[in-house]
Structure 1
Amino acid sequence: MLKKVFTISGIVIIVLLASFFSVRYYINNGGKRDIASEDIAYKVPSSQIVAEFTSNATASNKKYLEKPVAVSGIVTSVNDKEVIIDNSVNCNLTKANNSFKNGQKVTVKGRVIGYDDLLGEVKLDQCNLCAN
């Protein structure tokens, strides 16, 4: 009888541990998109996307939010994995890239994650440099 209880307890513990690690793996790795491999939904200059968000944030969120876009403009700030275009588009790079230089005209592909009213910036993540 005691052997049967230990066997059942062992099976329950193994199932619980497997479930825990499966859920943990899904939370950490599931749902991540590879923006670099997705097609560009919109190609816009930085001034246009900022103007759209400034004039009507609700409509712009419906149009751009969570979509891969290519934004073009002049690099105004570079800091490790962050590039700011025309002082109005904040791009968080997937990995540090030393090819960005202040004053350089670039097109960056990334996912729109929102608009910061306080700073007046459109925020992009998972950004990569596009060929012009």
Structure 2
Amino acid sequence: MKKLILITIAAAVIAAIVGFLLYNKPHRDTATATSDFIVEAPALLQEFTQNEAAANEKYLDKVVAVKGKVKLMTPDDEGNLNLILDAADEMAGVICTIPKADTESAAGVKEGDEVVVKGVCTGVLMDVVLIRCVVEEKA
């Protein structure tokens, strides 16, 4: 009986340690990550509009480099920068959230500039959403 209790306690401790380590695992660094896909903003939005399930299968949780014209730049309350790329659609675009720590990658970028933004795709709401983004280049 003592062995069973010790084994159960050991298993619980190991499970707790593994859970803690996975929960606190750092995000991959998109600035140094290789892009899984390189796509134009209008083409990306069109793929999600035409077949969301197929686009999710292709892009979800992948590092995507998106080229497009900056439609709008807005900071949020936490110091992050939201770049909205024009996707040739009045109602939608590609929202790229640049974390506070990486906003220097967007230095000098202004509305109307052509840029390549790399980030992790989280799918589509009304717009295609990329998180943990960095501006790779100003075209």
Superposition TM-score tier, normalisation by shorter sequence:
0.7 to 0.9
Number of the residue aligned with 2:4: none
1:25 shift after superposition? 6.5
Matched, 1:111 2:106: no
Number of the residue aligned with 1:129: 135
1:31-85, CA deviations, whole angstroms, 9 ceiling, x for partnerless residues?
5221222111110000000000000000000100000011011001001211000
Q: Is the 8 A contact 1:78 1:100 kept in 2?
A: no
Change (3 A) 1:23 1:64: closer
Work out the CA distance in 2 between the residues paired with 1:63 and 1:99: 32
1:125 shift after superposition? 0.4
Work out the CA distance in 2 between the residues paired with 1:99 and 1:24: 40
Work out the CA distance in 1 between the residues paired with 2:136 and 2:70: 14
**Which segments of 5 or more consecutive residues in structure 1 lack a partner in the other structure?**
1-15
Matched, 1:76 2:71: yes
1:94 shift after superposition? 2.2
Matched, 1:42 2:37: yes
**Which segments of 5 or more consecutive residues in structure 2 lack a partner in the other structure?**
1-12, 76-80, 87-91
TM-score by length of 1: 0.74
Q: Which structure has the larger Rg?
A: 1
Tell me which moved more, 36-45 or 91-100: 91-100
Change (3 A) 1:99 1:24: farther
Give RMSD over aligned pairs.
Answer: 2.3
Match of 1:92 among 93, 97, 101: 97
Tell me which moved more, 63-72 or 92-101: 92-101
Work out the CA distance in 2 between the residues paired with 1:21 and 1:79: 40
- Identity level (%): 32
Number of the residue aligned with 2:111: 102
Amino acid at match of 2:84: I
Work out the CA distance in 1 between the residues paired with 2:20 and 2:132: 22
How many residues in Structure 1 have an aligned counterpart in Structure 2? 113
List 4+ stretches of structure 1 deviating above 4 A. Answer: 19-26
SS at match of 2:31: helix
Change (3 A) 1:78 1:104: same
TM-score by length of 2: 0.71
